[in-house]
Structure 1
């Protein structure tokens, strides 16, 4: 995720005065807005669609990390064997 230091860092005072313009910028660029209080970063505003994409990516990364640990620790089995066991246990008709 990119950020423009000159455009995407706003003070809380700016946010209060120019809320609509700041939100319009955030939605248009897809970049987060860093909100500062007393010159220090305090909060991040993020477009909901961008947030949802990042959250999906994070969740997928967590699942992949768990799968990699399973492979590393030998908690795997052949796909054919799994499918056979799955079909037998669920009585799936073809």
Structure 2
């Protein structure tokens, strides 16, 4: 269940919000005037999330390369590497 806090908690209870984000690796949803405004999470959780997006992008590019025939046989790839030395 998401944790929802008013924006005043960022000002008045920052340590509490920060502690929750670090302990539970979950975002805290911040409201402003009763409506959703921000999602706050620890740097570690943010970097993990961004890393997943970057990995997914690379996997999608690899799948596209395979689908479009932009692949090299493993032996050919190793030979090409050896030739460059």
Q: TM-score, normalised by structure 2?
A: 0.90
Partner of 1:51: 46
Q: Say whether 1:66 aligns with 2:61.
A: yes
Distance 1:62 1:51 in 2: 17
Cα-Cα RMSD = 1.1
Distance 2:36 2:82 in 1: 54
1:55-82: per-residue Cα shift (whole Å, max 9, x none)?
Answer: 1111111100000000011111201011
Partner of 2:11: 16
Distance 1:30 1:85 in 2: 44
Where do 5+ consecutive residues of structure 1 fail to align?
none
Alpha-carbon distance, 1:15 to partner:
2.2
Runs of 4+ in 1 over 2 A off after TM superposition: none
1:20-73: per-residue Cα shift (whole Å, max 9, x none)?
Answer: 111111111111011111111111111111111111111111100000000011
> How many residue pairs were aligned?
85
Q: TM-score, normalised by structure 1?
A: 0.82
